[in-house]
Structure 1
């Protein structure tokens, strides 16, 4: 079965919100064995929405629309689909009752426009909304399946998972689901990784091998079709084993998680703690770590010591290292090492990790943009420092510096 996802909303076209629904639905449909070959974004315009439906119908067996199910006059998705299929709109009484009780319980008057959210196409199946008011619908006409879901992800995701998937299973015939294995890499760039695996990628049949890269991360997804996850993983195993033979030292995870998750897990397993001192990264490393639930068990905290005065006052880096004629400067291996040792000692952590460098856009201390030093200090050991020469704009350099620091710590933790 081939699917097309149509995201409805002028706010999407204007860039006011990101279309995360498309990513979620594509991932879930792949698990069901449904191919997503096209995604479309269309504004709240009746004629253009109809054109999108016509085009999707010419190339997809399943059309899923998200958005445009609300109470306002620009929420047109049900109206447009009803007119396109020649079906009337009827009231879904259970949704209307729930909506009425919802407003009454809050002492708020329900205006008539809200009733639009309980409309459904004649002959369609309702998809209950457990986290909102607008009912979703699903139906089949002339061999094409249609599903309308709300736009807000907090409503769309549970509706699809709890009710949409069940409906799809009922109409799918002999679809073999996809089984995937994600390998995440650190300490190796996208180009080098591809070079090590190039013959496998070029000669791939089944399973398929797809490299992915985004700022600071590289991954390879192995995918096959199989009746069960166990059968699929068995088919993937020989290719994975060959990849591990070639570049296994760089694999930090076999699931789609960021490096910071694995670092925190290794710290917890080993009973160690971490503190960080950041200069040019401006707190980004701390933010990445604290974004992971449970990080407080191993991450003690961080210091953003941007100025030389704070590097000296808070961490204890001598001023004669940071400034003055002949001084190494704040952007130096010496400063990175002292920052790592200082934050480790002042917090009582087992590991101190530091970042200092030039994020740009202008040089600093006569040193070029992209020059960064990372310091790693383990309890009872002198700090080890690493020089990085990074490219990109200011934000990219900050991110790459943070990911590089995590990579150095991960490599150390693997040996603990």
Structure 2
């Protein structure tokens, strides 16, 4: 069964609010086996709303409209439904009484404008709204299902959960759609995709690459007659992917790289300290965003100036004068200084040029040196990251976390010395 989602509101088109409702609904529809092939956003214009509804109903088995059910003149979803169905709008007596009681309980008299929320196409049914004034709409027309729900999330979510999704689930016969996302680091999207090209051709389950900042994701989606069968199909595809790219997979679904780093440090009983220059504390922020990180993270030094690199981390003045703040020897000394002066097992040092200015032909914007140190060795890697200042900073912390993850997982920093 296919359904299209139509989000209604000029404020969405102007970018004044973000449409979180449609994203939430798409995920919930997949859970009950409903395919969503298209989502449309349309402004508060009756003819354009009607056109969007008509086109959706020509393609799909049903449509869910979000927004446009309030009391103002630009709330036009009721009128659009009536236009499509060729029916007059009628006052729903039970909803009218509910609205009157709602306003009376607050010491207010309902106005005609407020009462128009109780209007519906003649053959449509109201969907109760326990958290607001505007009821939703449900209709079956020409063999198609039509739903309309108000836009405020605190009203939309419970109404969709309790009234829309159960009705749709009855039509799927238990069929489900399940997805799992594999998260990779240390490999580019094109290289990863090339190694999985035959698997990407699979139709069920499907395997789709998704480029993310500092990561590559592969989404596995299975359509099946039961949740257990869907999970089995996903597991088989995941196994095939891991056989080829397992070395680069660090997590699944919402798992972040900092989460797995903290977990590996806890399991190894090892601590961490960081020294940051160009990232300005971002690495420490990401680590301390993980619950339980206090078990392993001792702290960090934001040594933006050369004077603090020397005073707090023990970076030799001769290194700074000879090689500069952005250099392999400085990153090495920062990592070792963080580890030795803060008393941790692992130390990380990051120094670079985040931009947009400060680059030279020898040291361009985006150049970052990352040092990783433990009692066995110190390793320094360099990268030239593309992007604006915020992107360079994020990519630098991502690469630092990836190097640390590899070192902890493989038993020591000396493992990073291998090509």
TM-score when normalising by structure 2: 0.84
Partner of 2:99: 96
How far is the alpha carbon of 1:218 from its aligned partner?
0.8
Long gaps (5+) in structure 2: 412-419
Aligned with residue 384 of structure 1, among 369, 375, 379:
379
Q: How does 1:287-306 map to 2 (within 5 A)?
A: 287-292=285-290, 295=293, 298-306=296-304
How far is the alpha carbon of 1:95 from its aligned partner?
5.5
State the 4+ residue runs in structure 1 displaced beyond 6 angstroms.
108-112
Aligned with residue 341 of structure 1, among 329, 332, 336:
336
Tell me, yes or no, if the aligned pair for 2:89 and 2:119 is still in contact at 8 Å: no
Distance (whole Å) between structure 2 residues aligned to residue 153 and residue 88 of structure 1? 26
Distance 1:190 1:109, change over 3 A: farther
Partner of 2:366: 370
Deviations, residues 317-346 of structure 1 (Å, cap 9, x unaligned): 344433x3x2x2221222223333334455
Deviations, residues 68-117 of structure 1 (Å, cap 9, x unaligned): 2334332322333234322425352585378437856xxx9987655555
Partner of 2:193: 194
Deviations, residues 30-67 of structure 1 (Å, cap 9, x unaligned): 22221211111111112211111111111111111122
Partner of 1:407: 402
Tell me, yes or no, if the aligned pair for 1:44 and 1:76 is still in contact at 8 Å: yes
After superposing the two structures, state which structure 1 stretch, 402-411 or 230-239, moved more.
230-239
Distance 1:46 1:306, change over 3 A: farther
Distance (whole Å) between structure 1 residues aligned to residue 122 and residue 303 of structure 2? 64
How far is the alpha carbon of 1:192 from its aligned partner?
1.0
Partner of 2:256: 258
Tell me, yes or no, if the aligned pair for 1:341 and 1:382 is still in contact at 8 Å: no
Partner of 1:243: 241
Tell me, yes or no, if the aligned pair for 1:275 and 1:301 is still in contact at 8 Å: yes
Tell me, yes or no, if the aligned pair for 1:311 and 1:339 is still in contact at 8 Å: yes
Number of residue pairs the alignment of both structures matches: 407
How far is the alpha carbon of 1:190 from its aligned partner?
0.7
Instruction: Supply the RMSD in Å over aligned alpha carbons.
Output: 3.1
Distance (whole Å) between structure 2 residues aligned to residue 71 and residue 295 of structure 1? 50
Distance 1:414 1:149, change over 3 A: farther
2:47 maps to 1:47: yes
Tell me, yes or no, if the aligned pair for 1:120 and 1:135 is still in contact at 8 Å: no
Tell me, yes or no, if the aligned pair for 1:341 and 1:383 is still in contact at 8 Å: yes
Distance (whole Å) between structure 1 residues aligned to residue 105 and residue 251 of structure 2? 45
2:134 maps to 1:138: no
Distance 1:128 1:228, change over 3 A: same
Long gaps (5+) in structure 1: none
What's the secondary structure of 2:244's corresponding residue? helix
Tell me, yes or no, if the aligned pair for 1:358 and 1:370 is still in contact at 8 Å: yes
How far is the alpha carbon of 1:215 from its aligned partner?
1.5
Larger Rg: 2
